[in-house]
Structure formats: C-alpha cells, structure tokens
Structure 1
Amino acid sequence: MPFTRRAFCTGLAALPLSRPAWAQETPLLTARPATVQLAPEGYPATEVWGYDGRLPGPQIRVPQGSRLSRRLVNGLQVPTSVHWHGIRIDNAMDGVAGLTQDPVPPGGRFDYAFELPDAGTFWYHAHTNSMEQVARGLSGALIVEESTPPDIDRDEVLMLDDWLLDPETGRFAGDFGNPMMRSHAGRLGNLLGINGRYDFSLEARQNERLRLRLINAANARIFMLRLEGMVGWTVALDGMPLAQPEPVSTEIILAPAQRVDLIVDVTAEAGTPAALLSYADDDSWQALAEVTVTGPKSSARRAAPAPLPPNPRMDVPGVAEAELREMRMEGGAMRGMTSGRFEGQDMDFQRLVQRGQFWALSGQVGRGEAPFARYTLGETARIRWVNDTVFPHAMHLHGMHFRTVAADGSQGPMRDTLLVKPQESAEVAFVADNPGKWLLHCHMLGHAASGMTTWIEVA
C-alpha cells in the first residue's frame, strides 16, 4: 500500500571541476548523489541520484525550433547516459547506452546538442540501467514552448512519481534486481508524489485557467486520475496536440512515460475542495495535488479552449498498404513462465530466469543483435502489439511518434508510448522518417531490464 498524507507505511564522487561560468560554451547537466526529504517530516531523508543534485532534475524550457545543448557530467560511481524522451531527435543524441552511444563512465562527459522540431511536454531521464537510475531520481521535465501560447493564466508542470522507501532508514527499499518485481507488475512505490513532494499543492482563484502538464516519471505505476473542483480539456498527449480539445469526462489513465496536457478551469469556490485525485490501492480517491482556492479571479468562466497549433509531420499516410508486423509480448509470472521456454527462444528457459530475464518480444529476449524490423527511410510502418501476458505494458518507441489504428482503419492521436492491456492487442502506424537504430521497449522499466526490449532500424 502506498504512503498517503494520512499515514506513512511501517514495517518494511567527488565531481570534476568545471570551468568558470563565463568560459562555459555548453550548460552543464550533472548527475550526482544528493540528499532530499522525500518522506514526511520526522522520517529520515533519502539519498538519491539527481541531475544537478535535484529531484526531479532542473526543468528545461526552450522555444520550438531552437537548438538544445547540454553537457552531461557524470558525478556518479556508475556509468550513465541521458535519453530525451519524446523528442524526434538525431539518432546519435538519443542517449541509449549500447545502441546509440557508449555509456558515460564515472567522471566522464558527453555533449548532447539537437534541434527541437516539436512544441510540447517532454522529459529526460537516464538510459543506462534505467530501472535503478530513474527510480533513484534521474529524470526531469523538458518543455518546448509554442510560439503562440494558449490563452491561460498559468502553466504548471507536474511530474508524477512514486518511490519505494524503507521508513526506518529513508533509503530506497528492496533489491533493484528483485525477481518478484521484475516478473510481475514492476517496482511500485509506497510513497506517491509530484515534483519530488508527497504533499504537493497549488494556489489558484476561482475561474482561473491553468495548463497542467502531467508527466508520469514512475518506474511502473499506472496513475488513474480525476479532477475535483475543476473542469478540464485534454489538449495534447505525449507532447502532440490533439486536433480538438477533448473534455475530461472520465478518469485520466497515465501509464509510465506518458504525458497529458490539460487546460483546466478552477470552478471551486474559496474554501471548497479542489484537487487532482489519484486512485489508491485501498479503493479510495486521494488528493495527489491539492488546490487551495483563494478567491474569485472573475465572475464568469471562459469559453472552451482553442486547439494548440499542430506540430510538423503529424500525418501518417498509406497505412492500408503498409506491411503489418506482429509483435507478441510474452513471459512474466503466472502465464508465460509456466511453459518452460519462450516461444521461438532456443535458450533454455531456466537459464533465462537465472539471468533475471522474464520477458520477451516475439520470442526475442533482450535487445539482441538483429532488429525487429528494418524500414526504408520514409516508409509507413505498421505494428500490432499483442499482449499474451497477464500484466499491462507501456510500449515506447524512440525517435518517432505513432498513431493508433482502429479496426475500421481510423487513426487515433499521435503518441510515443501506448498502454497495452493484458490479453488485448493494439495496432500502431508511423512514418519511418528518422534514420538510425531506434529502441522499442516496455516502459515498465523492470520489464525492459528483464527482456522486453528490442529495436528497429531506419535507413
């Protein structure tokens, strides 16, 4: 059961010297240990790994069409790298250790520099031993701003996360290689929070209009969210604007790595509840972000918001004629692990389990030497994900966005991460317009570390 505001669960390198600021050509982003107060006051502080010693890392805001440059400085005792999640990026800058770059050793540096073609809500996180490094705090928000912003009063970034802590010591609990977590739902925390705080809150006025940029930075938790005292519209998913804002009439499901941009009007009066609620393990709804309403901003609400300006290259033509490739999700506890071996996998199953490999994609355990598919530059690609397991999987494609494809051929919103439920399938299509070797994996990071990782090649 997660920590709540009511109760806290019980029982359970010296940095390289940098040049003076006036001599720096590239801003630094330093991965290093730090100590933060994640748990409520009265409980021990937690030793984390953070960018610039912060959790989450520094928020990066840049205009669309600009060029982003950061020099990663590794102040950890282990290798690391940075993935710029959701950016349609040059392959060499994608940050996947072992595929697009060598990991940056302790004390080492690596220069990232790339164009930002799309406006939207993105994020950055470690992509070397991601399950542990992201869980320890190595992530931050990357906001690419439209040249014409929407009609709002305030723009707020909310990075949702959970942390698995030992309340006696404040340290991260459990073994990051724990086979039970890796073969089941993943590493789920017992403390939930936003922007590194379990008690995150906002102040607002009645009829104030906010843009809420929600980012799920959790290792494995799927957040189910609800608005209280606010009326909202979804205007973008995974950084990509919707053609028309969609009223929020049901719960918002946010899988690991997914983002949603909401424009909300605060409808509650001063002194009445307003919050972003999260569904809890005890079947209750609890405030993940409380909104304190201080008084009226205006006497009347505004009209529904206009759509955000579209990003370039959002069409996916030629889907009906594209070759359909099927990718089956296999393995995990309670189903795939009972067969004795992964279908199509020659290696003895017990040897895989001993190596901590519990998952496969179409019989392939781990990234492998050969890609799942090779595409010609500009080709329309079509993949059907089939979930043969009893757990959900958040499938993430690097370097490009895709559209979901319904049975009737209609296309859904553009995304880079899609939640595929147990015993269900989902079809996606994208234009393979970004050359290079691109990772495709489950963003339940324990699943990715335990075999549910592959790649495609575009040339």
Structure 2
Amino acid sequence: MPLTRRTLLATAASTLAAPALPRFAWADDTPILRAAPAVAQIAPKGYGTTPIWSYGGMIPGPEVRVRAGERVRRRFVNDLPQPSAVHWHGIRITNAMDGAAGFTQDPVPPGGTFGYDFVAPDPGTYWYHAHARSWEQVSRGLAGPLIVEEAEVWTGLEGAATREATLMLADWRLQEDAALHEASFGDLHDWSHAGRLGNTVTINGSIDAAIPVRRGERLRLRLINSATARVMPLRLPGLSPVLIALDGHPVALRAAEEIVLAPAQRADVVVDVSPEMDAPLPILMDTGRDEWIEIGALVDGGETPLPPQDGPVRALPMTMDHALGLTAPQEEVLRMEGGAMGGLRRAHLGGVDRDFRELVAARRVWAFNGVAGDMDAPAFRAALGRTVRMRLVNDTAWAHGIHLHGHHFEVLSRGGRPDPHRDRRDTVLVMPDEPVEIAFIADNPGRWLLHCHMLGHQASGMLTWFEVG
C-alpha cells in the first residue's frame, strides 16, 4: 500500500492456574459485549477492507459510559477462535473483575461467556481491551473506550467544556491488500526491539478521521493510545490545549503544546475552537526523529457558532485519596533488562537460571530483576494500606510503558530530579537510562499484574505481579 500523508512506515504469558470465579445471575437485559471476527475499512477508500477482531462488530469497540459510583455490567461472549478475557484498564476494581486471563480468571474459551460486574469508583478516561494473547488480540482490534463521568456534571459549568469527544488512537500493520500482516504476529525481532509497530494510524477506526466541531465551543478531548507498542507524541496546532487529566486522574492545569502518550496512556485536554475557524485543524503525530504527519483533523460541523469562551479553563474536581505518606514507605526496585543491545546474559525462568540462548529458545528476551516473566512468585508483597515507593530502572536500549493493575501511583521523580507535577497515573513511560520513582498506597487487595504495556515486551519477559494484603 503506498504511503499517504496519513500513513507511516514502521521504524525499526505465561498461563497460570487461576481460581474459578462465581457464576452470576444475569437479567435478560444485561448488555452483551461480544468479541468476534469482523471487517473494517482501515485503508483509504478504494482499497480493500481489513479482516479484524472486534467488540460489537466495530472499531473501536462500543463506548462503555457510566457515572462515578455506578455499576458496569457486561456479559462477555467469546466468538473468537482463541480464548480471551476483558481487562478494564485503569479502573480500581475488585481483583476478580480485573480480566487478566490465566491469573485473576480462567480464560473464556471460544463459545464461552463470562460476567463482568463492578463499580466504577473514579471519574476519568479509561479503556478496555483483550488480556489473553494481548499482543495479538489488541493488534487485531479488541479495544474500546470506558468513560466514567464526574459524579456531579462538569461539562457545561462555568469555564468547563461545552462538549466532549473521545479520540481512540490505534496502530495497524497492513499488507498491500489491506489485510493485517499476520505472518509477523509474535515476531521475536519486533519483540526484542520497540515492539510491533504498524504502518497506519487511525483515530476511532478511521485513517482520515474528521472530528466535527462547533465554532466557538470549548471542547474536551479524551485521547487514548490503544496501540500495542507505538509511543505517540501529539500536537494540536492552533488550539493551545490545556491539560486537565492524565490516565483518568485530574492534574494541575497546564499548557500541553505536545502530548506524549505511551501505549495505554490517556490524556484529557481542553481546546477553544475559534468562532472564525475557516479550515480544518490538524491532529499531528511524530513518527520519529521529529517527522510530524497529520493523522486526523477537527473540522467545522456546520452548526451555528457559539460566542467565544471567555475566562480560564475550569479544573476537574480532584478524586481518590491523596494521603500518600512517605515517611517510612516499603522500598522496591524494578529493574528492566534485556532486549536488543541490552546485554542480558542470564535470567531465571521456571525457577531455573538460564543462559541467553535458552531464554531465546523459550521466547523470553526481557527480564524484571533477573526474572524473565517467571510468574511462580511475586515481585513483592505489601500489607493492605502500606505505602510502596518503587524505583523503576531502565537498563535497556528501549522505552517501556510500565503499568500497575488495580492502582494509581504518583510520579515522584525522573532522572534523579523531583517531578514538578507529581501526576497520578496507572502507566508511566520510562526512557532508557532514566530512572523513575513512583509511590502508591497498596489499598486494593489481591494479586495484581505489573508489566510493560508494549505488549510484545510483556509476552517475552516483562511481566510480573505483586500481592496486596
């Protein structure tokens, strides 16, 4: 497929026994979330359609939207040829509903069903995605937005946005006939480098995304990076975005001329659309080496313009418990090792010390603290309510997006310097040779995964877990 200004060239699980979960009694009107093969027009018009896997026959999957404190109930139906499960990313929910196949629940077999039922406690921008062979299933399209609105309506208040739009970004590796490049699923060369990078980026499933806006409106954009490997630096020229939240958590307001989203990260920004808007406003992404391309645009939707929005942007109400005591925290270190040019010589796997040749044969080329995805023992245990301070050390040549299940954490420092914002996140981008210090309260009991969200890295060794309580 030839390149256009909206396409780009790619640059360079173990399964555990999981406890059976209780069966739920479902009402006839319980919404169904069905995963099944489908087709989509990902390539430009004039090219063929792309066979994908999707929730509800669409990409991204259907938006799940509730208000903070309300329940999410979905009957997951697996019509795929593989076992699967649904992870509700970033939501602080009970461990049994986390959706980590083979760890917190049994994988749902082809033709099987599973009931997800949980309260969404915190407002914010989240998402859901497959968590079985996620390096393949997410790449095939199994992801969708999960939006938790503020308990008290924020949109429409003085200084707040007049409207909002969710933009879910995805990265696809297409062949010339527009089919997914299936032969490279699980490619160890990809996994040992940056991961499976695609050659096409979409917004809400479209390669030519045109987001209709109303001139004069103040718009809240919920940005979600659902790619399996691609870090996405974004710009919205001419709009002066104001950052209001990261990974679902409110932040101190600040300008966001460039927004960098690692896989799984989210950002909420507010933009003021000029009443004199006379041309589409591009959404730009850096493909690498400061090469920016247009991946979509905000376009005039044709409605009567609103009066220009005056005054500063209104901050979101702060949520979650912020009493993070650091006087005597539990200290932990997570050291990232391996990958191409990483110098990994040995690591533990299956409880045995193995040399690099044995690790490659087992398709494990990354490690945490000298362990290559061996899930027999946790990385650490923490008492319920204990504050954990963790130092993330990247001794590799590649960036990693480290995700903690079931918890938000505070970013304390980067590169040995205090972080000026102290943002709360569930996924943090750690660059090579840039130690990052985070801290969180272990307030959600259970066994929780801790892994790189470059999903090929996770599958090939960057996967562990911790236990709370």
TM-score, normalised on structure 1?
0.91
Instruction: Determine if the alignment matches structure 1 residue 175 to structure 2 residue 179.
Output: no
Is the 2:6–2:295 contact (alpha carbons within 8 Å) kept by the matching residues of 1? no
Q: CA deviation at 1:280?
A: 2.7
What CA deviation, in whole Å up to 9, does each residue of 1:380-417 have, x standing for no partner? Answer: 01110000000000000000100011345977111000
1:88 alignment counterpart: 92
Give me the whole-angstrom Cα distance separating, in 2, the residues matched to 1:405 and 1:2: 45
CA change 1:298–1:56 in 2 (3 A) is closer
1:212 alignment counterpart: 221
Q: Which moved more, 1:79-88 or 1:160-169?
A: 160-169
Q: CA deviation at 1:257?
A: 0.1
2:166 alignment counterpart: 157
Residues 407-446 of structure 1 mapped to structure 2, 5 A cutoff = 407=417, 412-446=422-456
1:19 alignment counterpart: none
Is the 1:240–1:414 contact (alpha carbons within 8 Å) kept by the matching residues of 2? yes
Q: CA deviation at 1:343?
A: 8.4
Give me the whole-angstrom Cα distance separating, in 2, the residues matched to 1:377 and 1:330: 29
CA change 1:73–1:298 in 2 (3 A) is closer
2:316 alignment counterpart: 308
Give me the whole-angstrom Cα distance separating, in 2, the residues matched to 1:411 and 1:235: 12
Total equivalences in the alignment = 443
Which one-letter code corresponds to 2:243 in the other structure? T
1:49 alignment counterpart: 53
Q: CA deviation at 1:268?
A: 7.4
Q: CA deviation at 1:279?
A: 1.4
Is the 2:172–2:180 contact (alpha carbons within 8 Å) kept by the matching residues of 1? no
2:20 alignment counterpart: none
Instruction: Determine if the alignment matches structure 1 residue 355 to structure 2 residue 365.
Output: no
1:17 alignment counterpart: none
Give me the whole-angstrom Cα distance separating, in 2, the residues matched to 1:433 and 1:23: 32
CA change 1:422–1:302 in 2 (3 A) is same
Give me the whole-angstrom Cα distance separating, in 2, the residues matched to 1:308 and 1:317: 20
Q: CA deviation at 1:204?
A: 2.2
Which one-letter code corresponds to 2:346 in the other structure? R
Is the 2:275–2:308 contact (alpha carbons within 8 Å) kept by the matching residues of 1? no
Give me the whole-angstrom Cα distance separating, in 2, the residues matched to 1:301 and 1:379: 45
Q: CA deviation at 1:289?
A: 2.1
Given candidates 146, 155, 162, the residue that maps to 1:142 is 146
Q: Note the residue ranges of structure 2 that are not aligned, 5 or more in a row.
A: 11-25
Q: Note the residue ranges of structure 1 that are not aligned, 5 or more in a row.
A: 11-21
State the secondary structure of the residue aligned to 2:136: helix
2:458 alignment counterpart: 448
Q: CA deviation at 1:96?
A: 0.5
Q: Which moved more, 1:316-325 or 1:209-218?
A: 316-325
Q: Which moved more, 1:194-203 or 1:341-350?
A: 341-350
Given candidates 193, 202, 218, the residue that maps to 2:202 is 193
Is the 2:168–2:225 contact (alpha carbons within 8 Å) kept by the matching residues of 1? yes
CA change 1:228–1:36 in 2 (3 A) is same
Is the 2:331–2:388 contact (alpha carbons within 8 Å) kept by the matching residues of 1? yes
Instruction: Determine if the alignment matches structure 1 residue 330 to structure 2 residue 337.
Output: yes
Q: CA deviation at 1:9?
A: 7.1
Give me the whole-angstrom Cα distance separating, in 2, the residues matched to 1:2 and 1:91: 46
Give me the whole-angstrom Cα distance separating, in 2, the residues matched to 1:2 and 1:326: 46
Which one-letter code corresponds to 1:251 in the other structure? E
Is the 2:348–2:374 contact (alpha carbons within 8 Å) kept by the matching residues of 1? no
Q: CA deviation at 1:232?
A: 1.6
Give me the whole-angstrom Cα distance separating, in 2, the residues matched to 1:402 and 1:8: 34
What CA deviation, in whole Å up to 9, does each residue of 1:405-437 have, x standing for no partner? Answer: 134597711100000001111010000000000
TM-score, normalised on structure 2?
0.90
Give me the whole-angstrom Cα distance separating, in 2, the residues matched to 1:6 and 1:155: 24
2:14 alignment counterpart: none
Which one-letter code corresponds to 1:102 in the other structure? D
Is the 2:383–2:468 contact (alpha carbons within 8 Å) kept by the matching residues of 1? yes
Q: CA deviation at 1:149?
A: 1.6
State the secondary structure of the residue aligned to 1:111: strand
Which one-letter code corresponds to 1:311 in the other structure? T
Residues 207-356 of structure 1 mapped to structure 2, 5 A cutoff = 207-242=216-251, 244-248=252-256, 250-267=257-274, 269-281=276-288, 283-293=290-300, 297-313=305-321, 315-337=322-344, 340-342=345-347, 346-356=353-363
Q: CA deviation at 1:185?
A: 0.2
Give me the whole-angstrom Cα distance separating, in 1, the residues matched to 2:419 and 2:134: 35
1:202 alignment counterpart: 211
Q: CA deviation at 1:302?
A: 1.9
CA change 1:76–1:193 in 2 (3 A) is same
Give me the whole-angstrom Cα distance separating, in 2, the residues matched to 1:427 and 1:6: 37
Give me the whole-angstrom Cα distance separating, in 1, the residues matched to 2:337 and 2:147: 35
Is the 1:233–1:246 contact (alpha carbons within 8 Å) kept by the matching residues of 2? yes
Which one-letter code corresponds to 2:74 in the other structure? R
Q: CA deviation at 1:334?
A: 1.2
Q: CA deviation at 1:80?
A: 0.2
Which one-letter code corresponds to 2:53 in the other structure? W
Give me the whole-angstrom Cα distance separating, in 1, the residues matched to 2:306 and 2:61: 35
What CA deviation, in whole Å up to 9, does each residue of 1:81-126 have, x standing for no partner? Answer: 0000000010000001111011001111100000111000000000
Is the 2:275–2:305 contact (alpha carbons within 8 Å) kept by the matching residues of 1? no
Q: Which moved more, 1:47-56 or 1:181-190?
A: 47-56
Q: Which moved more, 1:369-378 or 1:290-299?
A: 290-299
Given candidates 120, 124, 128, the residue that maps to 1:120 is 124
State the secondary structure of the residue aligned to 2:433: coil
Give me the whole-angstrom Cα distance separating, in 1, the residues matched to 2:399 and 2:126: 23
Instruction: Determine if the alignment matches structure 1 residue 31 to structure 2 residue 35.
Output: yes
CA change 1:180–1:330 in 2 (3 A) is same
CA change 1:166–1:138 in 2 (3 A) is same
Give me the whole-angstrom Cα distance separating, in 1, the residues matched to 2:2 and 2:343: 28
Give me the whole-angstrom Cα distance separating, in 2, the residues matched to 1:51 and 1:214: 19
Is the 1:382–1:429 contact (alpha carbons within 8 Å) kept by the matching residues of 2? yes
Instruction: Determine if the alignment matches structure 1 residue 70 to structure 2 residue 80.
Output: no
